[in-house]
Structure 1
Amino acid sequence: MTTPTPSKDTPSKDTPSKQPPAFSSPAPRSVPPTGNVNMMSYDSPAVLNMLNDVANSGMGGVGMGISMSSLGMSSLGMTASAMGRADEAERTRRLQAIIEILGRKPGRVSEEGMLALCQKMGIPYEKHMDEAGTWSLLIGDEALCDVTFKNDEIVSVNLQTGLDDSMPELRFGATGSEILVRSLRPLPGQSKLNVTLERFSESLEKLLTLDKLGSPQNGGVSCYNAIAGVYTSLKKLFEHEKKAELANRAPDERYRTYKAEREVLCKKSGRPRLNGGSCLGLSLEYWMDRRHLLPKTTPLSSEKGKEKMDLDSQASTSYPEDHPTANNKLYSLTIECESSPSTLYTPIRISNDWISECIDKPADANDANASIDNLLLNTPSIDWLDPKPTYLDAQADDAMNLDDAAGRLPNIRFVARFNPPLVVPYAVHVHLHQTVGIEPPNDLRPTTFVGLALRPGDVDPGMKSTAGGSTLEIRNTRTVMVGKDGRERTHNTTLYVLKLEYSRTLESLPFSHPRQLVEILPILRQYAHATTLLRDIFYEPPKKPVPTHKLGQHQPTPPHTPTKPAQQDELPPLQVDLSLSYTPPTPRITLHVPHPTSTFIPPSPTDQAAIAEYLANLPSRAAHSRRALRVALDIHTNGDLVVADQNLVSYKTFEQHQHHVSDAKVKRLAKALDVVDDFGVWAEWLRREVVVLEQEA
């Protein structure tokens, strides 16, 4: 069944948006910016040539400012008494806003706090007759949750749903109980006094929404069964791809099962999990940071036990990355249901047959859904099926209403929620919505990747008057480990954005078939990888307090590292420059780092005398210093890193064998960053690697 196309006269919350106009700056480029976002400076290898041109031209910027000293309060029509009354009214307004925010927040974990939360959410509860300190929460008609307290501390949680009766092999209640009980206990490093019911309330809200959508008043279509059917098909596809990946690995390879699963997670159809990690419900994990790195404490015995469990049951299992102290950040799509008119969008269908038993089908040029890559490479594609529509229960409708008594579709659709939200260019945002058959929302804000992903607490650079004609620059200082001896070095890292690309944040995306999600995963990985590489260095959280979790995930911490007292054997600081091109279809990040034999120490941006001396001695310095190392990386679909330009490896085209050797060395540069997933560590590795390459040349 195809998705009906909404008419032009029909209102919809998914409306098309037009490309926002380009913003040009009326201010001269010499006007300095304010805040944490600066313009291009001169303490980096990336701008040495530009400094030389400026010195030779003798041109300088002309500053401009506005004096407010001649403007008195009385000339502005403002008096002290009027300001006092305004301040008092403003304080009252802010106090009322704070009270409203606190009223919406759940209380702390306690028996009294949980009962107050249930009253607020409209969840009936009753005291258990046989077990002391146990309360039974009646979450609609399909879920029952028993919570046991002792001295206001959580003891156990027991979740039971209708899915445990219809599909007991999924163990939805048992795994869901583990997530709920963890949400009531403190996070690592958190005091018991600071544990709130916020994470617990998010899970209750999700269960309550599923029950309301599938209640008999709405036709009696079970959202639990609909989501379980999608999980069954995605799990079948995951196991098939994992088996193929294991066949390509040596039988005695260490952690081969974990590595195979992570390869499918990041390069194939993703890893579906039901109540996995900290997410209650179905999630499709599609990207993982540092997927090549496994903790040394991961026991081999647990891997063998997990293999056996995978063969015996489809139940969700635990992984090393689920541990709160793990460094592997996960990107996932949480698959849920939401209300939506069935006349505009394809509604949910309850079926376990979204994919055939054979999983794969041979390449066929007559197949309209066949991928061009599969046809060119003559490789099989996924054999997706299209289940029949699921109709409402006729008994739940008015028997006298002959039009609606039979054949009416549910006003519910599938929706994938991004965890965490993902920032993509505006053109990609529009393309993804069109891929799933809906029109993008009408949003004309001039937001950018830097403002949305790296500096969410500051004014977005796209909204500044200087955004159209200046190079955006943001900085950070952090400590990076150098080599295996444990020594550390301070990195002064600068990011230059030569062109601001308007971007949007993906928070949710409706879909009608799991095939649509699998098809967009390569693009999502592309921007997830670009985001994590830069967020690890340049992210600064908003100054206002924000929740420390979302579905149990920790909020990224600022990368700033406190300075340590200088030591005699401490390595000198290193200037590392990155430039970003975020324009589709391929993000490009270029690294500039000084050569290890270079003695260049950049002048301070505030020391004008040092800058003048540097510019005067620039020709002699250039003759005695080595070139800066430069590597430009393109981030392709599925997060693949490809070296687009570099000056470390020289090609010798007159020798075919030597050309292949050089090509392998260039690919090794990208592979190193793919393993460490950190530009600082990678920059130090490049400085050691170039010495070896020059010796071999």
Structure 2
Amino acid sequence: MSTPNAPNAGKHPASQQGRTPSQAPGATPSQLAGATPPVSTPFSNSAHAAFSPRGGPKTSPQQFKKSPAVSLLGQLPHNLAFDSPSTAAALGLGGPANMSTHEAMEGFQDMRSITRDDDKLNRLEAILEILGRKKGFVSEAGLERLAQRYGFECLSEDDTAPDGRKVRMLIIAGSSTSIEITMDNNIVHSVNLTFPESSEAVVQCMEPAGKIMLQDLLLAPNQSPLTKTLDKFALNLERLTTLDKLSIMPAFDCRAAIAGLHASLQALYDWDLARAGEEGCSDDVAPSRVICARHGAPVMHAHDRVGLSLRYWKEMGHLPIQKYHKTWQLDISCCPLPPPLDPMHPFPSARVSDQWLGKDIVRDDGMGGDAKTFPLDWQEPEHVSLPASDEAKNNSVPMFEGDIPTGGPPQVSFLITFDPPIVLSSPDAARLYTYTGAPLPSPPPQTTFDQIVFPTPAGALQDDPSENRVIQRQREVSVMDMERQFSEKTHLNSLYVYKHIYSMEVKEMVFSHPKQLIDMLPLLRQWAFTSMLLENSFGKETKEATLPKKAAADGDSEQDQLSAFLGLTKATKTSASASAAVDPAVDLSIDVIIWVHPIPHFQVKFPFKDQGANITLQILENGIVDVTDENIIAQTDNDRVTREILGKVLEQMEDLSKWVEWIRSRLG
């Protein structure tokens, strides 16, 4: 059947955000002032005001500050309670001196009821927020509600299946996107995703997205239709919605811009694969090496996600890619252009091109040498210039703020979403933002690295920031000896946080050129490997240590132990061996000191021969492990193991416990 276009499609000229003032009947100038319409929320307009738990206009902070009650409350000592007689006297609500306490407290009844009402309203808002996260269940009505929630038009009609059965066809239409969903008794059978105004190349690039959305709606084997939710489908529909709303057809198609990035990144990936093969890397391992050590691997519509991603790290990077391997990637999409920090130098808008790289990928500078040393031949495609709207042509000056009287670039930018979010020190986070020129969050978050990676559990006492934090975890480790026999051992891993370094968790960032993504990959891999090392050694696969504090074992405080590790004081025996002596169920205790500035460092101590092992290593860019100091090689007769080999083994094992066991079995 024919694919319907969006209502009123093509009746109005292109504008900066897909609709001109004439396309919004009844719109006021204030509503048209912004270049990007505000996101609709249940309480964002007067039509929904009746559903707001607050039920009316909220008092502004300025009005609250001017309240006489606040001025009186500001004079109260912090330890006074509202229900105490002293508080009533301080507020002057007690009346004459001979007034009873009961009468004095009557003035607080209204204040306490307001407080209780606010608590109830806050709880109600929290409940509504939780309910708003639910996307509903797969059905015709559920799909219609979800599509309308994202601003699509919906049309339902009867249709006939190839076998002659009567089915329902639900058509979800945007400005340049159409989704046809065939259902029989609210059970989805097919999904047809089309882009009527896009080029053939864009249609072919986006075609697999329809298969992913169909899988989001199909029932699993033996699954009841009553339990099939729209959660996965909603995530992919939201991604399509973003590209649909920001596209200004036919002048600027966000999907074409994404497809162009994919074409250039794919050409770079193919070139990397060829170079890896020439260097002797096998065909099954080469993709992993390109992901972890070169320019990453672009994937389109993979891992049940609609859209483009650039993979830059994976666990077990020395092994072929497997489905169960965790990957780190940059999800690439579009977003409204951010406001410029400097009006004279606005952030560059998105461009549509598949020629971001030259035909030969690298640029020969005439100096000779290996192709790996040549710089990439990045290009600068031309910016898109939108046609002026009819209103702009008839006016020499803009009618409203945001209107452009002549052709101009689209108010759209490229956006990367870090999956998973990357945690790194504040100086390196600032460096990450310099690659793209994106503005830093303001004000910068005041959170330490350890609190982001290992947040304090809810209800637990917060750690004193003036003290060195200690995290103890217990885990079971499968160990293979020299005869390739496996055994299970219990480790007690203790992590000492040396200095609290302010850090950031970066989730998304705008960019304007793919070379900016390639430039940041070595830094991202450095912190991705650091987070993976901490997760494998102290994360979810471990459990809370059941042993008492180490101070009970050797009589030293944790601060004394940390000082001993750093060489500031002398210790008669290591805390690791002392901890193991507390509970015979622990086969080995490992003490690790971490500091993350200027780069991530680890100092690892564990029982080894007579002197014990003391190894210091640092994580370099691209996730390379550099062993800077150790005392174990001198205690052995094995001259084949070097510091470089120790670093390579940890890069492959990605786990401090397994690495320590390898050292003890090979060198102990």
Task: State if a TM-score over 0.5 links the two structures.
Answer: yes
Residues 576 and 88 of structure 1: CA distance in aligned 2, closer, same or farther (over 3 Å): farther
1:120 corresponds to: 149
Q: Which amino acid aligns with 1:181?
A: L
Relative contact order, higher structure (CA 8 A, sep 6+): 1
2:362 corresponds to: 360
Q: CA RMSD for the aligned pairs?
A: 3.9
1:498 corresponds to: 498
2:561 corresponds to: none
- The answer as to whether partners of 1:650 and 1:662 remain within 8 angstroms in 2 is no
1:521 corresponds to: 521
Residues 211 and 292 of structure 1: CA distance in aligned 2, closer, same or farther (over 3 Å): same
- The answer as to whether partners of 1:492 and 1:576 remain within 8 angstroms in 2 is yes
**For each residue in 1:75-97, what CA deviation from the matched residue of structure 2 results, as whole angstroms up to 9, or x when unmatched?**
88699999898567534531342
Structure 1 residue 150, shift from structure 2 partner = 4.3
Between the aligned partners of 2:525 and 2:464, the Cα distance in structure 1 is 31
User: Within 5 Å, which residues of 2 pair with 1:162-561?
Assistant: 165-167=199-201, 170-173=204-207, 175-184=208-217, 195-216=228-249, 220-249=251-280, 256-294=282-320, 320-321=322-323, 326=324, 328-340=325-337, 344-363=346-365, 379-394=373-388, 398-401=392-395, 404=404, 406-455=406-455, 466-467=464-465, 469-483=466-480, 484-539=484-539, 559-560=542-543
- The answer as to whether partners of 2:181 and 2:192 remain within 8 angstroms in 1 is yes
2:629 corresponds to: 645
- The answer as to whether partners of 1:337 and 1:415 remain within 8 angstroms in 2 is yes
Residues 168 and 441 of structure 1: CA distance in aligned 2, closer, same or farther (over 3 Å): closer
3-state DSSP of counterpart to 1:241: helix
Structure 2: segments with no counterpart, 5+ residues: 1-33, 37-80, 89-104, 398-403, 547-583
Q: Which TM-score applies when normalising by structure 2?
A: 0.69
Structure 1 residue 437, shift from structure 2 partner = 1.9
Structure 1 residue 535, shift from structure 2 partner = 2.0
Between the aligned partners of 2:664 and 2:226, the Cα distance in structure 1 is 48
- The answer as to whether partners of 2:350 and 2:413 remain within 8 angstroms in 1 is yes
Residues 635 and 97 of structure 1: CA distance in aligned 2, closer, same or farther (over 3 Å): same
**For each residue in 1:75-132, what CA deviation from the matched residue of structure 2 results, as whole angstroms up to 9, or x when unmatched?**
8869999989856753453134213320342112333322221232222222353345
Residues 687 and 243 of structure 1: CA distance in aligned 2, closer, same or farther (over 3 Å): same
3-state DSSP of counterpart to 1:320: coil
Structure 1: segments with no counterpart, 5+ residues: 1-10, 14-70, 251-255, 295-318, 366-373, 540-556, 564-569, 598-625, 653-657, 692-697
Between the aligned partners of 2:35 and 2:145, the Cα distance in structure 1 is 36
Residues 192 and 524 of structure 1: CA distance in aligned 2, closer, same or farther (over 3 Å): farther
Structure 1 residue 181, shift from structure 2 partner = 3.0
Residues 471 and 410 of structure 1: CA distance in aligned 2, closer, same or farther (over 3 Å): same
Structure 1 residue 377, shift from structure 2 partner = 11
Between the aligned partners of 1:188 and 1:523, the Cα distance in structure 2 is 43
Q: Which amino acid aligns with 2:380?
A: D
**For each residue in 1:628-683, what CA deviation from the matched residue of structure 2 results, as whole angstroms up to 9, or x when unmatched?**
2222221111111111112221399xxxxx9xx95853222122221121222222
Number of residue pairs matched by the alignment: 519
Between the aligned partners of 1:171 and 1:408, the Cα distance in structure 2 is 27
Between the aligned partners of 2:656 and 2:226, the Cα distance in structure 1 is 38
Pair member with larger Rg: 2
- The answer as to whether partners of 1:221 and 1:393 remain within 8 angstroms in 2 is no
Structure 1 residue 388, shift from structure 2 partner = 1.3
**For each residue in 1:170-228, what CA deviation from the matched residue of structure 2 results, as whole angstroms up to 9, or x when unmatched?**
4421x212322333468999997655322211211111111111134xx8411111111
Of the three residues 603, 607, 612, the one matched with 1:594 is 607
2:176 corresponds to: 142
Q: Which amino acid aligns with 1:582?
A: V
**For each residue in 1:246-288, what CA deviation from the matched residue of structure 2 results, as whole angstroms up to 9, or x when unmatched?**
11226xxxxx323111111111111011112232111111111
Between the aligned partners of 2:414 and 2:284, the Cα distance in structure 1 is 30
- The answer as to whether partners of 2:530 and 2:619 remain within 8 angstroms in 1 is yes
Structure 1 residue 536, shift from structure 2 partner = 2.8
Residues 258 and 189 of structure 1: CA distance in aligned 2, closer, same or farther (over 3 Å): farther
**For each residue in 1:442-498, what CA deviation from the matched residue of structure 2 results, as whole angstroms up to 9, or x when unmatched?**
12432012222222755999xx6831x321111222211122544212222111111
**For each residue in 1:567-600, what CA deviation from the matched residue of structure 2 results, as whole angstroms up to 9, or x when unmatched?**
xxx974321222111112x2112222222x6xxx
Q: Which amino acid aligns with 1:581?
A: W
- The answer as to whether partners of 2:187 and 2:225 remain within 8 angstroms in 1 is no
Structure 1 residue 293, shift from structure 2 partner = 3.5
Between the aligned partners of 1:163 and 1:673, the Cα distance in structure 2 is 52
Q: Which amino acid aligns with 2:595?
A: S
3-state DSSP of counterpart to 1:258: coil
- The answer as to whether partners of 1:415 and 1:508 remain within 8 angstroms in 2 is yes
1:130 corresponds to: 160
**For each residue in 1:3-62, what CA deviation from the matched residue of structure 2 results, as whole angstroms up to 9, or x when unmatched?**
xxxxxxxx999xxxxxxxxxxxxxxxxxxxxxxxxxxxxxxxxxxxxxxxxxxxxxxxxx
3-state DSSP of counterpart to 1:167: helix
Between the aligned partners of 1:191 and 1:675, the Cα distance in structure 2 is 43
- The answer as to whether partners of 2:335 and 2:415 remain within 8 angstroms in 1 is yes
1:544 corresponds to: none
- The answer as to whether partners of 2:474 and 2:545 remain within 8 angstroms in 1 is no
Between the aligned partners of 1:516 and 1:162, the Cα distance in structure 2 is 32
Matched, 1:689 2:634: no
- The answer as to whether partners of 2:308 and 2:333 remain within 8 angstroms in 1 is yes
3-state DSSP of counterpart to 2:212: helix
